[in-house]
């Protein structure tokens, strides 16, 4: 069982989500928890430990990212939202029950991605290489912008633009969109129709907060824009330690602060409601 857990652990994709030292400490805790337990206890602890690991990066189910012939395929499941960094620097928030496929490196004159489900893209600007998403009945082309595509099987495709300009097309027509616009595929006419979007940033995008490359102090300030709390540092050195990965807002503020402390091998204590001390 321990070997199986190790195999599941190793299958978690790198993608810069875990610093090596954090991964090593996580694995040591799991290994210690599974020592001298019965087979039934192994299964229960393994499942609980994996949920803990994945909540650290905002994942609620076991990651399933595979590499086939220089392609990366990511599949999400129920309540599973992920933030991906593509080879060109594009960020993608992948909603639950979604499959996205892209190459390990974008070569040639275009950047091609295949999507089944829903994802929000912040495309790295590159005028020389259009970014093209194929999603069932429609194809979306951009140079550098942010937008949401919803294209689940059995549902009509929908594209909403937050920033920039987007071209959406199918076999019958093409529409050009800008901020606040949406393109809806009409099944009766098999045409894309341009209309105003009811919202330009879906709620699921707010489930994950990107803290990659931020210092602890910068991450705390980012959280304080959305949450009311105070934090004290016995040592100023702790403020400048760098972080990697994402935070899952579904954990709540206390859970996110505990995640930050774990990532830095630190301890956080809630002195009084809403007032925390973090130290190493």
Both 151 and 73 in a single domain? yes
Q: Which of 170, 203, 236 is the last residue of a domain?
A: 203
Say whether both 14 and 71 belong to one domain: no
157 and 239 housed in the same domain: no
CATH of residue 251: 3.55.50.10
CA–CA dist 102, 72 (Å, integer): 5
Domain boundary among 156, 185, 203: 203
Q: Which residues pair with 175 in a beta bridge?
A: 168
Q: How confident is the model at residue 24 (pLDDT cuts 50, 70, 90)?
A: low
CA 54-153-50 angle, to 5 degrees, is 10
> In Å, how far are 51, 170, 247 from 62, measured between CA atoms?
8, 35, 17
Residue pair 145/160 in contact by the 8 Å Cβ criterion: no
The pLDDT tens digits of the residues spanning 203-261 come to 999 999 999 999 999 999 999 999 999 999 988 889 999 998 899 999 999 999 999 99
pTM over 0.85: no
Are 101 and 154 contained in the same domain?
Answer: yes
Q: Structurally, how many domains does the chain consist of?
A: 3
Domain edge (last residue) among 169, 203, 237: 203
The torsion defined by the Cα of 76, 80, 83 and 88, in degrees rounded to 10, comes to 0
Cβ(123)–Cβ(91) under 8 Å? no
Same domain, yes or no, for 75 and 197? Answer: yes
Q: Do 98 and 131 reside in the same domain of the chain?
A: yes
């Amino acid at each position: 069982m321990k070997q199986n857990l190790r195999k599941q652990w190793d299958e978690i994709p790198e993608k810069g989500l875990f610093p090596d030292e954090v991964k090593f400490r996580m694995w040591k805790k799991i290994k210690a928890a599974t020592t001298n337990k019965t087979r039934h206890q192994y299964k229960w602890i393994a499942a609980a430990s994996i949920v803990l690991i994945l909540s650290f990066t905002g994942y609620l189910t076991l990651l399933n990212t595979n590499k086939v012939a220089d392609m990366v395929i990511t599949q999400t499941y129920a309540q599973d939202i992920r933030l991906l960094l593509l080879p060109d620097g594009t960020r993608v928030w992948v909603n639950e029950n979604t499959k996205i496929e892209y190459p390990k490196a974008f070569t040639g004159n275009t950047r091609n991605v295949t999507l089944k489900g829903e994802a929000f893209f912040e495309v790295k600007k590159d005028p020389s290489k259009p970014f093209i998403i194929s999603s069932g009945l429609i194809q979306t082309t951009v140079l550098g912008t942010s937008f949401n595509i919803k294209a689940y099987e059995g549902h009509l495709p929908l594209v909403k633009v937050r920033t920039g300009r987007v071209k959406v097309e199918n076999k019958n027509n093409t529409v050009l969109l800008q901020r606040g616009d949406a393109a809806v595929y009409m099944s009766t006419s098999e045409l894309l129709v341009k209309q105003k979007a009811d919202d330009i940033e879906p709620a699921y995008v707010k489930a994950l907060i990107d803290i990659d490359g931020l210092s602890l102090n910068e991450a705390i300030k980012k959280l304080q824009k959305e949450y009311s709390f105070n934090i004290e540092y016995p040592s100023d050195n702790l403020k400048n330690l760098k972080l990697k990965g994402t935070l899952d807002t579904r954990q709540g503020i206390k859970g996110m602060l505990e995640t930050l402390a774990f990532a830095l091998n630190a301890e956080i204590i809630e002195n009084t409601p809403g007032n925390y001390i973090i130290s190493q």
